[in-house]
Structure 1
């Protein structure tokens, strides 16, 4: 099958959508399909062979974060040419309503189109206002996928439709095979970890850093590993001087380092305050054997099955985070129980299963009008 995949966000910045697109493309290629990915990138940006650059990305504030998008005449021309030359059996557009390559591709194409929706914004005034403009274009989509129930609810509320829920995927064995680094282990008082952009408020690092002094006072040998890009000096400066040495900022980590960090953790903390539609980082941590402590967002509650696979605390509540972290760090038997339950549950998210579900959608829509052609 010839599959064209459109990513609205620049691949040079880590993110859930970008990782999903990259992994899906590689899985489909391994299965023998012909895959081309269109993504924002300069012509001289190093990208995998299956990626076609579609122009420079510009940073735009979006959903509490900063998205790097590509839009304009140059990008539109490249989208049309890519669709025309690709002669795809199925066009798979991620975040079709995003004003980037995704929306340009949706405007430019006809035929079998699959749209995957990742965003969860139940009270988005922007989406509500734009829905009447977007609906005619969205009606061209043959099948809609939402990566979670919160993403599905956002889509139904603002844009309509009846999407099927297919979660984000990951290569479970790559995380399960990771081994802890001795230099990242704290010994008897335990190691906590966090992954996310340091200066993006919704990722919740500030909540964790407010909670950490209370954890450190009870367990002075505790260690906190913080991975992600951002202003390290600013983040460190929010901690009391006496416990700063207990926090190690790792900067950006690649996938193997990320898995090793999770494997080195007695508890992975996800203190996000909102804007999360799924929580793939929780699944990654669980696959690597890290017990999860997460804020009680709808998306996270679903991943940890209401608390059966991980512990939850009230969103933004630093004292509650500290209490739950101390309870987990002091209960080795509970951590072992969570590890065992989670490692079985995450098999549901392995790409070997998720790719088959997506392919079933491709095959269904491909039975309709043949090919995806450029709109006139």
Structure 2
């Protein structure tokens, strides 16, 4: 199968959607399919052989964050060239409503189109106002996928229609088999995310840290991600700042090792999450998870069955829950065991099979339409036949 996948966000700025697309593409290639990914990227960005650059992206405020998107005449030309050269059996667009490559591809593509919706957001006047512009492009989509019930709900409320729910995927064994790192073990909390993006929740965790350290002064917080490290600890008393260790951007291998090493992984995100792929990665690594009680996080964690939840943006609740987990090894072990079983439903072996089933369904539908049209005279044939009779 020849599959074209469209990434809306800059390939060189890591994020959950990019990781999802990368892992899906590599899994499909491993199964023997031909895959090409079109993504915004700076000209000097090292790209995997299956990624085609659509040109540089520009920062745009989108879904409570700053996303790097690509839109314009040059991007549209590159989309058309990619579609022409690819001759794809199916095109899979991610976030087609975002002002980026997905929307451009919807306008330009012919044939079966599958779209995945990742965004979860409250009812938005901007999205509702944009619907008349988006509608002609979105009507070309053959099948819709939502990564969670909350992404599906956003789609229904803002754009109409419905979608099949297929979660984000994870290579479970990659995280489960990672080797812990000795220097990251021993009374450690972990956080992975963009430091300077408030909705990732690091400020909430920083407000909770003094209470945690007051009872457990040997606790360390390991932070992986880009951002202003000095600003991140500015609210902490000077004597506590040494208990926070910034690791910067980490490789996939080190991310897995970090999740295998920490006593508790903390996800204090405050909103804008439709799924929570980092929770699935942490569960895969066997890390006990403590997360804010966002609807999407609660769903991933089986309503608290495989990870503990605390009241969103409540630093005191976070501190109390973290102290309970740090002081209860048996509770942590139980969460790890249940999480290891629960997370198998998110493995790429399952998720990719579900996505391939959608591809095959829309391809079969397109083939049926072509066959039906071939079975009866087309307009041109009818016109020619009529002209022949009239001569």
Q: TM-score, normalised by structure 2?
A: 0.93
Q: 1:368, CA displacement in angstroms?
A: 2.6
Query: 2 CA distance for matches of 1:204 and 1:357?
Result: 32
Query: 2 CA distance for matches of 1:64 and 1:231?
Result: 19
Aligned pairs (5 A) from 1:58-69: 58-69=58-69
Q: Higher relative CO (CA 8 A, sep ≥ 6), structure 1 or 2?
A: 1
Aligned partner of residue 115 in structure 2, secondary structure? strand
Query: 1 CA distance for matches of 2:65 and 2:144?
Result: 24
337, 340, 347: which one aligns with 1:340: 337
330, 339, 349: which one aligns with 2:327: 330
- Tell me the matched-pair count: 368
Extract unaligned runs of 5+ from structure 1.
Answer: 372-376
Aligned to 2:166: 166
Aligned to 2:193: 196
Aligned partner of residue 259 in structure 2, secondary structure? helix
**8 Å contact from structure 2 (residues 123, 157) kept in 1:** no
Aligned to 2:210: 213
Is 1:285 the counterpart of 2:282 in the alignment?
Answer: yes
Aligned to 1:275: 272
292, 305, 323: which one aligns with 2:302: 305
Aligned to 1:90: 90
Is 1:246 the counterpart of 2:243 in the alignment?
Answer: yes
Query: 1 CA distance for matches of 2:185 and 2:41?
Result: 38
Q: 1:370, CA displacement in angstroms?
A: 5.0
Aligned partner of residue 369 in structure 1, secondary structure? helix
Q: TM-score, normalised by structure 1?
A: 0.96
Aligned partner of residue 259 in structure 1, secondary structure? helix
Q: Larger C-alpha radius of gyration, 1 or 2?
A: 2
Query: 2 CA distance for matches of 1:224 and 1:123?
Result: 36
Aligned partner of residue 367 in structure 1, secondary structure? helix
Query: 1 CA distance for matches of 2:272 and 2:115?
Result: 20
Q: 1:122, CA displacement in angstroms?
A: 2.5
Aligned partner of residue 352 in structure 1, secondary structure? helix
Query: 2 CA distance for matches of 1:255 and 1:149?
Result: 28
Aligned to 2:183: 183
TM superposition outliers: structure 1 runs of 4+ over 6 Å: none
Aligned to 2:41: 41
Aligned to 2:314: 317
Aligned partner of residue 237 in structure 1, secondary structure? coil
Q: 1:132, CA displacement in angstroms?
A: 2.4
263, 266, 275: which one aligns with 2:263: 266
Aligned pairs (5 A) from 1:69-88: 69-88=69-88
